[in-house]
Chain A
Amino acid sequence: MSEFQDKQDGYLNMELLRFTTAGSVDDGKSTLIGRLLYDSKAIFEDQMEAIERASINKGEEHVNLALLTDGLRAEREQGITIDVAYRYFATPKRKFIIADTPGHVQYTRNMVTGASTANAAIILVDARNGVVEQTIRHSFIASLLQIPHVIICINKMDLVDYKEEVYEKIRKDYNAVSDKLNVKDVRFVPISALKGDNVVDRSERMPWYDGTTLLYLLEHLHIKNDRNFNDKRFPVQYVVRPQKAEWHDYRGYAGRVAGGVFKPGDDVTILPAGLSSKVKTIDMMGAENMASAFPPQSVTITLEDDIDISRGDMIVAIDDLPSVGQDITFKFCWLSEKELMPNAKYTLRHTTKEVKCVIKSVDYKIDINTLEKITGDKSVRLNEIGKMTIRTTQPLIFDSYEKNKITGCVILVDDATNNTICAGMIV
């Protein structure tokens, strides 16, 4: 029984790590994911049988691990991945969520989507081809979305005879690229996804490599500091008012802590009204009167004073205020086939607030293959990245994306189609 208790305790104390994978069509990304799932025993027999059947039907010699991640019919037929797919596996240390995004040029938006919630990015480089335009593009997106950790997997080492020189050259070439980008924590792992070298098990064919396997790295990346525990931010999501006698005067503000650590007794300001109060209680069913609340917890906060607060307002520390304003500049990625319409109004969503906005200027765009700025071109099309300035009908309560991702990100919605057409990271 004690053995079970230990294992159980281990399971219940797992951390969650989200990572995204990017690579070109033939970099072996699906094979790598298949390998991670297979070697960590997250693939079940019936799934394995299904892909064995499918591999035989397609006349392939080996079981094609890539078929595991190709979910939709069109993808299986065309042999490409066309959308973000989410995969799950766990080791006794961590539970992993993989956002598997396709690497073709036209799918920048999917990569941006997958990257938006990731703690880490795995970028695949084909050992035979080295650092190519796609590698730069993927790294640029990782830096744009400020993914805290980037892992460069140099894949297909088996096809270059596991040579150290190849690995070292790619490392050097990549460092020259990353110096120009804002990527903080870069790691390199030489692997063969097909043969399993250094993915889950250490390779004996690369004795010169003294680093860890990919899985070990994923299990041990330090992710606690990826969140902002300094600046108190609580966007009010929903007002809880129980119509029950026993809770007659209860007025709670439900939301997910976006930054900082809230405690009962904290002096807070409610924006945009600018009124002050104190945190009275922090509640959660089953854990009333919590001692504190921090990201990413969802809780309900009550205040000492009776103030009119609604969805879209923000509770913040009295001595550490975010910016409040209507002129917002952000880096963007355009997500829609419908081009930017210069004088049109869009709906903007930011935290729990929704307002209208107009685009004031497209400040520049970036050629993501050369990383050069393009100025003077005001058109914005699908997958284009750059910087723009907008004006909103009501003030936003925001931080820079660098300071706080949650209070620093926006999306634009096209009112004609209701589609999400633009992602923005406030400068």
Chain B
Amino acid sequence: MEKHNINHLRELEAESIYIMREVAAQFERPALLFSGGKDSIVMFHLARKAFWPAKVPFPLLHIDTGHNFEETLKFRDDLAKEHGVQCLVRFVQDSIDQGKAAEETGINASRNMLQTVTLLDAIEELKLDVALGGGRRDEEKARAKERFFSHRDEFGQWDPKNQRPELWNIFNGKKKMGEHFRVFPLSNWTEMDVWQYIYMEDIDIPNLYFTHKREVFNRDGVWLAKADFMQLKDTEKLEIKDVRCRTIGDITCTGLTLSMANSLEDIIREVAATRTTERGGRADDKRSEAAMEDRKKEGYF
């Protein structure tokens, strides 16, 4: 008797690849949103698998807040070069300079929210009809209700109460002029799945995910990295700690984990034992209970 079963990671992989191919078949101008974080790296790996031996038939798009970990940008550029893929970058700073977005002020100022403006402008400028994102349903409550194919109106907005039913593996990408889709091939993955997959497939990730010494300070129980544009409160002081990133996002709101993990095995062991969610370290989600839902309705990732 032959055994015809595959493990959960291969099944998730097969589903994601199927979604990527649907996107390439159903849309004219896709782009893959790329932040340099592990989810977008996995997304690109899956895209390569989906179309191999041909090249990935769409470009990467990075919405750059200007508040990055430097290592991320280098990793992004190296990856694009190695695989001969076009990487488009659009800057939040440009949206601010054009007066379309207003910089937040105060101690917790972040450009995370402003990315929405730049993203929607980029979609319009590049005439994209779909943007592939690495969002996962396990990340946050509002995301748990998102479809694989998430319809956006002409203002880029999400209407959570009026989503299209999504049945079996049939995906409806039909839309009117000016509307677009966000597609989330990793919808069914969890943080653990992503790490196990990176381990199984031996995917290269930025060193930021492994332990390193860094100047950090503690704000409301979250360790944040020192950066020139970050203001410190009087009570906050810089310390050098052994930390690693659990997620990589805008440096102003990416919490660091105190960790000595320096291999994928260590990370997987750590994730298995961890008692807080990945986004627990994300200051952007803590603003209110519906913070993510509100941002998504406006057109956030």
B-binding residues in A (CB < 8 A): 4, 7-8, 11-16, 44-47, 50, 54, 69-74, 76, 82-88, 90, 94-95, 97, 109-110, 112-113, 116-117, 224, 227, 229, 237-238, 240-244, 247, 250, 252, 254-256, 261, 283-286, 292, 294-298, 300, 311, 335, 347, 349-352, 405-406, 409-411, 413, 418-420, 423
* Distance of A90 from chain B, by nearest CB (Å): 7
Task: List 21 A-B pairs, Cβ < 8 Å.
Answer: A8-B265, A11-B192, A47-B277, A69-B144, A72-B141, A72-B161, A74-B161, A82-B161, A88-B138, A94-B8, A97-B188, A240-B51, A240-B52, A242-B53, A244-B55, A252-B53, A256-B14, A298-B13, A300-B52, A418-B174, A420-B165
Q: Scan residues 37-54 of chain B and give those whose CB is less than 8 A from a CB of chain A.
A: 48-54
Q: Known contacts A224-B5, A285-B52: does B293 contact A297 (CB below 8 Å)? A: no
Q: Does B193 lie at the interface of the complex (its beta carbon under 8 Å from any beta carbon of A)?
A: yes
Which of B15-23, B70-78, B94-102 sits within the interface? B15-23
- Kindly report which residue of chain B lies nearest to residue A73, judged by CB atoms: B290
Q: Known contacts A71-B145, A250-B53, A296-B15: does B8 contact A15 (CB below 8 Å)? A: yes
Selected from B2, B14, B196, B277, the residue in CB contact (under 8 A) with A298 is B14
- In the bound assembly, the distance between CA atoms of A243 and B10 in angstroms comes to 28
Q: How many of chain B's residues have a CB under 8 angstroms from any CB in A?
A: 67
CB–CB B25/A237 < 8 A = yes
CB–CB B188/A298 < 8 A = no
- In the bound assembly, the distance between CA atoms of A350 and B175 in angstroms comes to 18
Q: Does B126 lie at the interface of the complex (its beta carbon under 8 Å from any beta carbon of A)?
A: no
- In the bound assembly, the distance between CA atoms of A45 and B279 in angstroms comes to 12
Task: Known pairs A83-B163, A240-B51; list 13 more (Cβ under 8 Å).
Answer: A16-B11, A45-B275, A54-B289, A72-B160, A86-B137, A88-B188, A90-B192, A113-B165, A255-B21, A294-B4, A298-B50, A409-B170, A413-B172
CB–CB A113/B166 < 8 A = yes
Q: Does B7 lie at the interface of the complex (its beta carbon under 8 Å from any beta carbon of A)?
A: yes
Q: Does B9 lie at the interface of the complex (its beta carbon under 8 Å from any beta carbon of A)?
A: yes
Q: Does B164 lie at the interface of the complex (its beta carbon under 8 Å from any beta carbon of A)?
A: yes
* Distance of A63 from chain B, by nearest CB (Å): 15
- Kindly report which residue of chain B lies nearest to residue A71, judged by CB atoms: B141
CB–CB B138/A420 < 8 A = no
Contacts of B235 in A (CB 8 A): none
* Distance of A8 from chain B, by nearest CB (Å): 7
CB–CB A16/B18 < 8 A = no
Q: Known contacts A74-B161, A88-B138: does B167 contact A229 (CB below 8 Å)? A: no
Contacts of B144 in A (CB 8 A): 69, 71, 85-87
Contacts of B138 in A (CB 8 A): 87-88
CB–CB B8/A254 < 8 A = no
* Distance of B15 from chain A, by nearest CB (Å): 7
CB–CB A242/B269 < 8 A = no
CB–CB A418/B7 < 8 A = no
Contacts of B137 in A (CB 8 A): 86, 88
* Distance of A339 from chain B, by nearest CB (Å): 16
- Kindly report which residue of chain B lies nearest to residue A424, judged by CB atoms: B167
Which of A69, A296, A311, A409 gathers the greatest number of chain B CB atoms within 10 Å? A296
CB–CB B6/A297 < 8 A = yes
Contacts of B50 in A (CB 8 A): 254, 298
Q: Does B87 lie at the interface of the complex (its beta carbon under 8 Å from any beta carbon of A)?
A: no
CB–CB B14/A297 < 8 A = yes
CB–CB A296/B174 < 8 A = no
